[in-house]
């Protein structure tokens, strides 16, 4: 089995409260979890800023090429949202 890790760093736009930030986090995590049991996602420690967010996604598969393709599609899916933009990504296959 191979594990693909994708770390997504976001810049949140127009966020002025923890409540607004938390709403975006919940929505992004829920979108990943809807993709199925082969995915897991969580918020990871960022720089502590209200307007930055880091999410790590794990994908489990027998085929590393498939994992790479799935993580690429997921990255494209999150490139731009109405209240965030993707600032950086890191990818690793273990």
For position 71, which CATH number holds? 3.30.70.1120
Q: Which domain holds residue 59?
A: 2-93
Which of 30-34, 66-70, 76-80 comes out lowest in average pLDDT?
Answer: 76-80
> How many CB atoms sit inside 10 A of residue 15's CB?
20
First to last CA, the chain: 9
What's the pLDDT score for residue 78? 94
* Helix locations, 2-91, DSSP H: 18-33, 64-77
Q: How many independent structural domains does the chain possess?
A: 1
> How many Cβ atoms sit within 10 Å of the Cβ of residue 32?
21
The pLDDT value recorded for residue 47 is: 79
Q: What is the pLDDT of residue 48?
A: 79
């Amino acid at each position: 089995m191979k594990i693909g890790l994708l770390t997504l760093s976001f810049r949140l736009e127009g966020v002025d409260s923890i409540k607004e930030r938390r709403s975006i986090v919940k929505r992004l995590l829920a979108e990943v979890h809807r993709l199925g049991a082969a995915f897991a996602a969580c918020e990871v420690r960022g720089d502590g800023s209200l307007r930055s967010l880091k999410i790590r996604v794990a994908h489990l598969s027998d085929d590393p090429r498939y994992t790479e393709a799935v993580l690429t599609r997921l990255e494209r899916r999150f490139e731009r949202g109405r209240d965030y933009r993707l600032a950086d990504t890191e990818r690793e296959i273990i």
